[in-house]
Amino acid sequence: MATTSDIRRGLTFKYNNDIYSVVDYQHVKMGRGGAFVRVKMKSLTTGKVIENSFNTSAKIEDIRVERRDYQYLYDEGDSFIFMNLETYEQIPINKNMIDAHDLLMEGDICQIVINTENDQPLTAELPPQVVRTVTYTEPGIRGDTATNTLKPATVESGAEVRVPLFINIGDKIKIDTTSKSYVERIKE
């Protein structure tokens, strides 16, 4: 058992007969009242993100998880098939359990979060940033140099990302997978 002082991003725990991962948290101290911890947590079975508050004296049942490298192979209906790089075993992960799954491409290496109690895969985490080629975007208008102006662009994986006006078809761009936002253009 853990206490609320052990809460940190990425902590996996059981709550209301479900398994959750901490997305964000905030320790709140009221003027006269007691302190509490406000937690934004994601269900690893349904993918829903909820907020909850815990008293500082509350106990939570943490779960030991391991992160293992797997390679994304292919799409099969509602699931993505991943292969363990050491044992070559293949496992399916539901699309709803992967954030920014539209940025995923065959051959990408992801980390699969596995519950060590029953060796059950919980979710897949993409690398923090990926490089993709722009397949379609409207051409930038010459002389339009307003700062922070973005336009939609489709990348080779099928995802749509907002990019600066100077990005053209064929450019390679780096994308942040947590926010699905443009980071930089890759020069070749």
The residues with which 59 forms a beta bridge, in sequence order, are 3
Q: What confidence score (pLDDT) does residue 143 get?
A: 60
Q: List, for the chain, all residue ranges whose pLDDT scores fall below the cut of 50.
A: none
Q: What confidence score (pLDDT) does residue 154 get?
A: 94
**Candidate CATH numbers 1.20.200.10, 2.40.50.140, 2.60.40.1080, 3.20.20.80; the one for domain 129-186:** 2.40.50.140
Measure the CA–CA gap between 123 and 74, rounded to whole angstroms.
Answer: 16
Q: What confidence score (pLDDT) does residue 115 get?
A: 87
Contacts of 152 (CB under 8 A, 6+ apart): 137, 138, 160, 161, 162, 163
Q: What confidence score (pLDDT) does residue 65 get?
A: 86
Measure the CA–CA gap between 168 and 178, rounded to whole angstroms.
Answer: 23
Sequence ranges of the chain with CATH classification 2.40.50.140: 65-125, 129-186
Q: What confidence score (pLDDT) does residue 141 get?
A: 67
Measure the CA–CA gap between 26 and 63, rounded to whole angstroms.
Answer: 21
170: left (phi over 0), alpha (psi -120 to 50) or beta: left
Radius of gyration of the chain (CA): 20
Burial environment of residue 10 by CB neighbours within 10 A (0 to 12, 13 to 18, 19 or more):
exposed
CATH class of 2-62: mainly beta
CATH code assigned to 65-125:
2.40.50.140
Q: What confidence score (pLDDT) does residue 43 get?
A: 86
First to last CA, the chain: 51
Q: What confidence score (pLDDT) does residue 1 get?
A: 80
Q: What confidence score (pLDDT) does residue 28 get?
A: 87
Q: What confidence score (pLDDT) does residue 142 get?
A: 64
177 phi, psi to nearest 5 deg: -75, -20
Is 57 strand, coil or helix?
A: coil
